[in-house]
Amino acid sequence: MPNDVKNISKQAPSAFYEDLESLLIEEMRKQPAKLDVRLKLAELYSQTRRVSDFIQHARLTQAFIKEPKKSDEWRRIVTMGRVLKPDEPLFTESHDDVIKFDGPQASNEAPTYSRIGDEARFKKPLQDLAEAYEEIRKDARFLAELDSEMMQSAGYASPLEPARRLSEHIGGAKIYLKRNDIGVRQSHIASAIVGQALLAKRMGKKTLVTASGNGHSGVLLAAVAARLGMNVVVFMSMEQMQIQRTNIFRMWLCGADVQEVDPKGRSGGDIRKAAFDHWARFASDTFLVMGLDAGPHPYPMMMLEFTSLVGRECRRQMYAHTKKAPDIIVARAGENADAIGLFPSFLKAPATRLVCVGAADTFEKEDDAASAKNLSIQQRLQPLSSSEQQRATKILEGLDYPSVAREQAWLKATGRIEYVKTQSVAAKKAISDLSRLEGIIPAIETAYTLAWAFQTAATMTRDQSIVVFMGESVEKNIWDIGKAMGVPL
């Protein structure tokens, strides 16, 4: 066994990270020289701020790399290391891996990059947040309070429904549907938002501030804040404020202050920067509430643990039905909270398969012009050349936030989570079958998940079970479904 596998500390900051670390270390034990696994373990230590473990792992990893200066994996480890410990000689002794520009903009001075939230003005607020978060993680009363508030604010616990008629029709395993797609305030990030609001109140904060792209998360936050007696400031772009007037009205009724970001900057990054700036100015009594996409420590860790409420809930409900863990759990693929919140509670159930399902083709037909040119949607949205993409990737590497979405990438690399794809034909049939047999109309992304689950259930036995997570309301694309399935509208 390699020395680094023996020596790596097992004191991960949460049960999920501990499980993830164990999976990666086991993979390293089998293939010590596999650099992509070593890189993922380095990312784990970087994201959870385990500086000493990161440095130790980096030193031992360097020994497996014949030419570190030419290794992309080593370059990324060095990039993360400089953020964690800028004065560490291991990360400063080589200057051959700095980002260089081509063309007339080239300069002898290496450009510097920073991530929003890395400035000195955020150091104290983030430190206070991390300390408060560590306290509530050890407090069982906080989790009980979170469960209670989720029942009041977001309609939890969402039901786990046995699809009896559908199971009989398919003739295989028993199918259960985790219905997070129903309820007036259901949201796949509800537990993350509610958890942060409760933590803010525990810290004595008076105001919650957030950036909301379409206003949905803002509505939920405003509703929770009203129940907790807190103020809310929501930043949105001018364009979205014109489109999402219903959500603006809902937030206003709940007492939220919805502020428009400068019209010159309508991207999500700009509204997020506005929220960060507001937080920096009023950090003494304000709490920054973030979504699931990304953020500085401890936000990714908080998001993961708060969203895992749905997994704990599902496991309790499944045990009530079958007295055992399900044979398969299925969620939609992509950067969303379905799998992120659902899977952690089942990582230690080795007999349970964890599967993410994505779309193998588009649900709707592409427009005639694009079809004529034989262009995919991805090609139409990506105008950069290969060399430009490579340079952009190098630059963006230094700007990436730690993100809860990385958990899925890590677990995929270890083989614990399977990623599969389904065709739109099967997804349409799944919509038809579920609607006619159970009276439930799924959203498009969920339909792909259901299609794979139905096909797999048919190959299983009656004493087996499969759980499908339904995380999105069909209301957002009901007319698209009708159009794609040829319904006269």
The first and second tokens of residue 85, run together, are 């410990």
Note the pLDDT tens digit of each residue in 284-316: 999 999 877 667 888 888 888 888 888 888 999
Q: What is the pLDDT of residue 106?
A: 42
Rounded mean pLDDT, 163-167: 94
Rounded mean pLDDT, 455-470: 94
Looking at the domain 120-138+190-291, which fold is it?
Answer: Rossmann fold (3.40.50)
CB 97 within 8 A of CB 76: no
Domain residues of the chain, as ranges?
3-97, 120-138+190-291, 160-184+309-484
CB 41 within 8 A of CB 29: no
Residue 430 reports pLDDT greater than 60? yes
Q: What is the pLDDT of residue 62?
A: 87
| Side chain identity, residue 384 | L
282 contact partners, CB below 8 Å, separation of at least 6: 207, 209
Q: What is the pLDDT of residue 229?
A: 94
Note the pLDDT tens digit of each residue in 131-162: 999 999 888 889 888 888 888 877 778 889 99
> Of the spans 100-114, 283-297, 380-394, which averages the highest pLDDT?
283-297
CATH architecture type of domain 160-184+309-484: 3-Layer(aba) Sandwich (3.40)
Cα radius of gyration (the chain): 24
Helices (H), ranges, 94-233: 123-137, 140-154, 164-170, 190-202, 216-228
CB 417 within 8 A of CB 343: yes
Q: What is the pLDDT of residue 27?
A: 83
First to last CA, the chain: 65
Q: Do domains 120-138+190-291 and 160-184+309-484 have the same CATH topology?
A: yes
CB 117 within 8 A of CB 295: yes
